Amino acid sequence: MLGKTTEYALRALVYVYMQNIKGKRPGYKEISKEIDSPEQFTAKVLQNLARAELVSSVKGRGGGFFFDEPTNPITLFKVIEAVEGKEYFSKCGFGLKRCDANNPCPLHDNYAPVREAFYEMVNKMTIQSLANKINKHEATLSRI
Amino acid sequence: MLGKTTEYALRALVYVYMQNIKGKRPGYKEISKEIDSPEQFTAKVLQNLARAELVSSVKGRGGGFFFDEPTNPITLFKVIEAVEGKEYFSKCGFGLKRCDANNPCPLHDNYAPVREAFYEMVNKMTIQSLANKINKHEATLSRI
DNA sequence: ATATAAAAAGACCTACATGTCTTTTTATAA
DNA sequence: TTATAAAAAGACATGTAGGTCTTTTTATAT
Ligand code: FES
Ligand code: FES
């Protein structure tokens, strides 16, 4: 459903948050190693997220990525929107130019509720809530 | 959620079925015009669907695309599987190598039900049921 | 038999997602 | 103030989805 770029973004931000809690500011080399993603491309993804102000960064010795206000939760929706674009949850599933409930495609009545459930899910979940699951050993950040 | 190729495939098959009911066998030129898709690429998509035995075709004068057994319903799942690949509904939403409910990623518990709802939806809906909605004027095949 | 109309096939092209390499900038430690 | 370690930036490379063009094959009408 989501592109690889978005997957890297989610995993990277979760790792950054987990390290921030421990008072650390990881760099892209460490991040990419821990989340099993391509190093340079992960740097690019994090740069874009920083430009979108979803994460902060400091250059130079001792620098790295971090959250300015770790208490301000970042929904997965914000990340998806930043990476995949604003239209992700409003496109017609049948490929028509617009999704229009008043003049629907034959998929709409069944598709829209699924799309809506996904939308609500990613608005409920946050980078922080994902990180907490991992810290409670209820989930894993990467897999061999 | 679905790629453009899958969208063309769904719209094309629905149109083919609607014409079959009227005793006609449309060609790719007519099909692409009616579903508003690129002509040659639609031909390619239909060729692939024919190879996957989701639709039949006859060459030569008076030829075109048609369903051998129009009463045998084709689920949207079959089309998605043929175009997007077998893994489409089993991939981990967080990008881990496998989806594993026993060793889940932090998205799994919330993501899997949405993915499952989508899966059930596309297994319930068929090319025939979509065409029927259009014939009953409850839905539209294309949009200006 | 021949002409015609159609799909099949395959070479080719384009745009975009994904990924890598090198250079530049900048903050900090020594 | 110099060396160093880090992100930022941008050029470059690769892979894949999406799309076009031309030629070949084949079924049918004449
Ligand atoms: S009109 Fe197609 S999904 Fe809404
Ligand atoms: S393990 Fe990630 S979705 Fe199942």
Whether B1 and chain A come into contact, CB under 8 Å, resolves to yes
pLDDT along chain A (144 residues), means of 10: 97 97 96 97 97 95 92 96 96 97 98 98 98 98 91
pLDDT at position B33 over 90: yes
Alpha carbons A107 and A101: distance in angstroms, whole number: 11
* SS3 at position A86: helix
Task: Give the nearest ligand 1 atom to A108 CA.
Answer: 3
Which residue in B36, B27, B30, B28 sits closest to B7, CA to CA? B36
Alpha carbons A91 and B1: distance in angstroms, whole number: 9
Alpha carbons B23 and A92: distance in angstroms, whole number: 30
Task: Please report which ligand is nearest the Cα atom of A130.
Answer: 2
Mean pLDDT of B12-39: 96
Domains and CATH numbers, chain A: 4-135 (1.10.10.10)
pLDDT at residue A144 in the model: 80
| Cβ separation B94–A133 shorter than 8 A | no
pLDDT at residue A83 in the model: 97
pLDDT at residue B62 in the model: 87
pLDDT at residue B144 in the model: 80
Hey, of B75, B77, B105, B142, which one would you mutate to test binding to chain A, going by the most A CBs within 10 A of its CB? B105
Give the DSSP letter of residue B126: B
pLDDT one-digit tens code per residue, B79-130: 999 999 999 999 999 999 999 999 999 999 999 999 999 999 999 999 999 9
| Cβ separation A105–B139 shorter than 8 A | yes
pLDDT at residue B100 in the model: 97
Asked if the Cβ of residue B44 lies within 7 A of any atom of strand D, the reply is: yes
Question: In strand C, which positions have an atom below 7 A from any protein CB?
Answer: 3-11, 17-22, 25-29
Ligand 2 neighbourhood includes B104 CB (under 6 angstroms) = yes
**CA B13 / C1′ D20 distance in Å:** 22
H or E element, residue B59: none
Instruction: Give contacts of A 75-134 with B, CB under 8 A.
Output: 76, 91, 93-98, 100, 103-108, 110-111, 113-115, 117-118, 121, 124-125, 129-131, 133-134
Mean pLDDT of B30-57: 96
Alpha carbons B51 and B37: distance in angstroms, whole number: 20
Tokens of A34: 């821990």
pLDDT one-digit tens code per residue, B42-54: 999 999 999 999 9
Instruction: For chain B, count helices (H), then strands (E).
Output: 6, 2
> Which residue puts its alpha carbon closest to atom 1 of ligand 1?
A99
Ligand 2 neighbourhood includes B89 CB (under 6 angstroms) = no
Asked if the Cβ of residue A64 lies within 7 A of any atom of strand D, the reply is: yes
Asked if the Cβ of residue A52 lies within 7 A of any atom of strand D, the reply is: no
pTM: 0.94
**pLDDT band (50, 70, 90) for residue B72:** very high
